[in-house]
Every structure is written in C-alpha cells, then in structure tokens.
Amino acid sequence: QVQLVESGGSSVQAGGSLRLSCAAFGYPVMDFYCVAWFRQAPGKEREEVAHIYAGGGRTVYADSVKGRFTLTRDNAKNTLYLQMDALKPEDTAMYYCAAGPRYSGSCSSDQSYKHWGQGTQVTVAS
C-alpha cells in the first residue's frame, strides 16, 4: 500500500522560502506514477500546484506559482520536493502530495491521483 508523508511546512514572512518534502513508501511512485503537489486554503477549492510524470516530460506548474516554485524528485529516495521561493500571503494553505497512475494518458486529471498524504501547513505572513 502506498503511503505518502509530507513535511517541511512552517510559518514564514512574505518573500521567504520553504522546501516541502514528500516521502513515498510501499511502491516506487517516483519511477512509475504521476506525482504532484496540491494545496487548499480555507474556504477555497483544492488547487494543483505542480505535477510531473515519472516516465518523463515537462513539469507543469499552476500560473500562480510559475517562476517561484520548483518541483523536483529524488527517485533513489522515492521522495518529491517543492522548493517555494518569494512566498506570498496568498500561498498560505495546506499542501498535499499526491501520486497515482496516469488517467487517460495524462497527469493533468485529478483522477490520476489515487494516493494522498496527510498534508503540511504553510502560512505566509505579510
């Protein structure tokens, strides 16, 4: 059974940086699956932040984080990272790691993500 464990969330000042980690257990998700970061702020819908497919291809970012966030992975450690720079108060949210097999050949569908972590809180103060 796949287990995803996020860490790295914290409270920071606007303009600061954080790096989130997502360690995967039970299956080599970084080698075979779509892997992604999502976030959800109170009262708002869940938003995909970025994703990448294990089989190659480009990383896709939400427009709201392009140029500030960087998704990387370490296949040997079966771990996904999200480097977040130039943080803004509107980045405040619970951040979730997700993984799963591609749905209809795409990692852009929410149906690609069958496994979810418990979330890590990011709070950005103005």
Structure tokens at 4: 């995803």
Spatial CB neighbours of 95, under 8 Å, sequence gap ≥ 6? 6, 9, 20, 37, 38, 39, 49, 82, 119, 120, 121, 122
Q: Report pLDDT digits (tens) over 69-125.
A: 999 999 999 999 999 999 999 999 999 999 999 998 889 988 999 999 999 999 999
Q: Report pLDDT digits (tens) over 18-56.
A: 999 999 999 999 999 999 999 999 999 999 999 999 877
**How open is the CA angle 60-64-69, to the nearest 5 degrees?**
60
Task: Give CA–CA dist 11/2, Å, rounded.
Answer: 29
Mean pLDDT confidence for 59-67: 97
9 falls in which pLDDT band (50, 70, 90)? very high
Mean pLDDT confidence for 3-20: 98
